[in-house]
Protein backbone atom coordinates (compact mmCIF):
# COMPACT_ATOMS: atom_id res chain seq x y z
CA UNK A 1 0.00 0.00 0.00
CA UNK A 2 2.83 2.37 0.82
CA UNK A 3 4.53 1.69 -2.50
CA UNK A 4 1.28 2.21 -4.41
CA UNK A 5 0.60 5.50 -2.62
CA UNK A 6 4.16 6.71 -3.25
CA UNK A 7 3.90 5.83 -6.96
CA UNK A 8 0.49 7.52 -7.18
CA UNK A 9 1.92 10.72 -5.67
CA UNK A 10 4.91 10.59 -8.02
CA UNK A 11 3.02 9.87 -11.25
CA UNK A 12 -0.34 11.64 -10.89
CA UNK A 13 -0.61 15.29 -11.89
CA UNK A 14 -2.25 16.29 -8.63
CA UNK A 15 0.27 14.32 -6.56
CA UNK A 16 3.20 16.05 -8.25
CA UNK A 17 1.62 19.47 -7.63
CA UNK A 18 1.01 18.70 -3.97
CA UNK A 19 4.52 17.37 -3.48
CA UNK A 20 6.10 20.40 -5.15
CA UNK A 21 3.95 22.78 -3.10
CA UNK A 22 4.89 21.23 0.23
CA UNK A 23 8.60 20.87 -0.56
CA UNK A 24 8.71 24.40 -1.98
CA UNK A 25 6.76 25.82 0.96
CA UNK A 26 8.99 24.03 3.46
CA UNK A 27 12.14 25.31 1.75
CA UNK A 28 10.75 28.85 1.59
CA UNK A 29 9.83 28.92 5.28
CA UNK A 30 13.20 27.43 6.17
CA UNK A 31 15.00 30.16 4.21
CA UNK A 32 12.84 32.87 5.80
CA UNK A 33 13.67 31.48 9.23
CA UNK A 34 17.39 31.44 8.47
CA UNK A 35 17.18 35.00 7.13
CA UNK A 36 15.47 36.07 10.36
CA UNK A 37 18.26 34.55 12.44
CA UNK A 38 20.92 36.58 10.72
CA UNK A 39 19.42 39.87 11.81
CA UNK A 40 20.04 39.69 15.56
CA UNK A 41 18.18 38.64 18.71
CA UNK A 42 15.11 40.75 18.02
CA UNK A 43 14.39 38.79 14.88
CA UNK A 44 14.90 35.37 16.50
CA UNK A 45 11.34 35.49 17.85
CA UNK A 46 10.10 36.29 14.34
CA UNK A 47 12.17 33.47 12.81
CA UNK A 48 10.85 30.76 15.13
CA UNK A 49 7.35 30.55 13.51
CA UNK A 50 9.00 30.14 10.11
CA UNK A 51 10.96 27.14 11.42
CA UNK A 52 7.72 25.65 12.78
CA UNK A 53 5.99 26.12 9.43
CA UNK A 54 8.97 24.65 7.58
CA UNK A 55 8.88 21.63 9.89
CA UNK A 56 5.16 21.18 9.32
CA UNK A 57 5.51 21.38 5.54
CA UNK A 58 8.50 19.06 5.40
CA UNK A 59 6.78 16.53 7.72
CA UNK A 60 3.95 15.93 5.24
CA UNK A 61 5.54 12.79 3.69
CA UNK A 62 5.90 11.24 7.15
CA UNK A 63 2.32 12.22 8.05
CA UNK A 64 1.06 10.82 4.74
CA UNK A 65 2.82 7.53 5.44
CA UNK A 66 1.15 7.32 8.85
CA UNK A 67 -2.26 8.10 7.32
CA UNK A 68 -1.83 5.40 4.64
CA UNK A 69 -0.87 2.81 7.28
CA UNK A 70 -3.86 3.79 9.42
CA UNK A 71 -6.20 3.61 6.42
CA UNK A 72 -4.79 0.22 5.46
CA UNK A 73 -5.33 -1.09 9.01
CA UNK A 74 -9.02 -0.17 8.72
CA UNK A 75 -9.60 -1.87 5.35
CA UNK A 76 -11.76 -5.00 5.55
CA UNK A 77 -9.66 -6.71 2.85
CA UNK A 78 -6.25 -5.95 4.37
CA UNK A 79 -3.76 -8.80 4.10
CA UNK A 80 -6.15 -10.77 1.85
CA UNK A 81 -5.38 -11.97 -1.64
CA UNK A 82 -7.19 -9.86 -4.24
CA UNK A 83 -7.49 -11.55 -7.63
CA UNK A 84 -7.88 -9.48 -10.79
CA UNK A 85 -9.44 -11.14 -13.83
CA UNK A 86 -8.74 -9.05 -16.90
CA UNK A 87 -10.15 -9.50 -20.37
CA UNK A 88 -10.29 -7.22 -23.40
CA UNK A 89 -13.61 -5.69 -22.27
CA UNK A 90 -13.77 -6.15 -18.47
CA UNK A 91 -11.82 -6.02 -15.23
CA UNK A 92 -13.02 -8.17 -12.36
CA UNK A 93 -11.71 -8.18 -8.81
CA UNK A 94 -12.38 -10.79 -6.18
CA UNK A 95 -11.39 -11.32 -2.57
CA UNK A 96 -12.91 -13.09 0.43
CA UNK A 97 -14.93 -9.99 1.36
CA UNK A 98 -15.85 -8.33 -1.94
CA UNK A 99 -15.98 -8.62 -5.70
CA UNK A 100 -16.48 -6.12 -8.51
CA UNK A 101 -16.90 -6.24 -12.24
CA UNK A 102 -16.24 -3.14 -14.32
CA UNK A 103 -15.85 -2.24 -17.96
CA UNK A 104 -12.60 -0.83 -19.27
CA UNK A 105 -14.35 2.41 -20.15
CA UNK A 106 -14.63 3.15 -16.41
CA UNK A 107 -10.83 3.44 -16.26
CA UNK A 108 -9.93 7.00 -17.21
CA UNK A 109 -6.15 6.70 -16.88
CA UNK A 110 -3.52 3.96 -16.64
CA UNK A 111 0.12 4.31 -15.64
CA UNK A 112 2.57 1.52 -16.31
CA UNK A 113 5.55 1.88 -13.99
CA UNK A 114 8.42 -0.59 -13.51
CA UNK A 115 6.82 -1.85 -10.28
CA UNK A 116 3.35 -2.47 -11.80
CA UNK A 117 0.21 -0.73 -13.03
CA UNK A 118 -1.92 2.05 -11.56
CA UNK A 119 -5.44 2.00 -13.01
CA UNK A 120 -7.51 5.10 -12.25
CA UNK A 121 -11.34 5.05 -12.29
CA UNK A 122 -11.19 8.60 -10.79
CA UNK A 123 -8.42 11.12 -10.21
CA UNK A 124 -7.73 9.96 -6.66
CA UNK A 125 -8.92 6.34 -6.60
CA UNK A 126 -6.69 3.74 -8.17
CA UNK A 127 -6.22 0.00 -8.48
CA UNK A 128 -2.66 -1.22 -7.89
CA UNK A 129 -1.50 -4.27 -9.83
CA UNK A 130 2.10 -5.05 -8.80
CA UNK A 131 4.45 -6.84 -11.21
CA UNK A 132 5.00 -9.59 -8.62
CA UNK A 133 1.31 -10.49 -8.96
CA UNK A 134 1.66 -11.58 -12.59
CA UNK A 135 2.65 -15.10 -13.58
CA UNK A 136 5.14 -14.05 -16.27
CA UNK A 137 6.28 -11.18 -18.48
CA UNK A 138 3.83 -12.17 -21.21
CA UNK A 139 0.91 -11.43 -18.86
CA UNK A 140 2.36 -7.99 -18.11
CA UNK A 141 2.68 -7.23 -21.81
CA UNK A 142 -0.86 -8.47 -22.48
CA UNK A 143 -2.24 -6.11 -19.82
CA UNK A 144 -0.19 -3.24 -21.26
CA UNK A 145 -1.59 -3.93 -24.72
CA UNK A 146 -5.19 -4.18 -23.44
CA UNK A 147 -4.80 -0.98 -21.42
CA UNK A 148 -3.31 0.90 -24.41
CA UNK A 149 -6.29 0.03 -26.57
CA UNK A 150 -9.02 0.58 -23.94
CA UNK A 151 -7.86 3.52 -21.82
CA UNK A 152 -7.89 7.08 -23.16
CA UNK A 153 -4.82 8.19 -21.20
CA UNK A 154 -2.20 5.45 -21.08
CA UNK A 155 1.25 6.44 -19.81
CA UNK A 156 4.38 4.32 -19.55
CA UNK A 157 6.98 5.57 -17.09
In this model, does residue 38 exceed pLDDT 80? Answer: no
Q: Tell which residue, 151, 37, 33, 44, has the closest CA to residue 88.
A: 151
Average of per-residue pLDDT values in the chain: 87
Whole-number pLDDT of residue 42: 58
> If you classify domain 83-156 with CATH, what class do you get?
mainly beta
Domain ranges of the chain: 2-74, 83-156
Q: What is the pLDDT of residue 150?
A: 95
For the cut 70, the answer to whether the pLDDT of residue 107 exceeds it is yes
The structure's pTM equals 0.73
Q: Which residues contact 84 (CB under 8 A, 6 or more apart)?
A: 91, 92, 93, 127, 129, 133
pLDDT digits (tens, 9 = 90+) for 49-93: 888 888 888 888 888 889 988 988 998 878 888 899 999 999 999
Amino acid sequence: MLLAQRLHMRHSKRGRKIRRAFIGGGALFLLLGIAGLGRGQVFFAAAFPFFLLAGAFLAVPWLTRRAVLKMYAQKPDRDLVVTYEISTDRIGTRSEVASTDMLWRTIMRAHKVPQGFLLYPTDQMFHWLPVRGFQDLADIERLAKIAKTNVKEYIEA
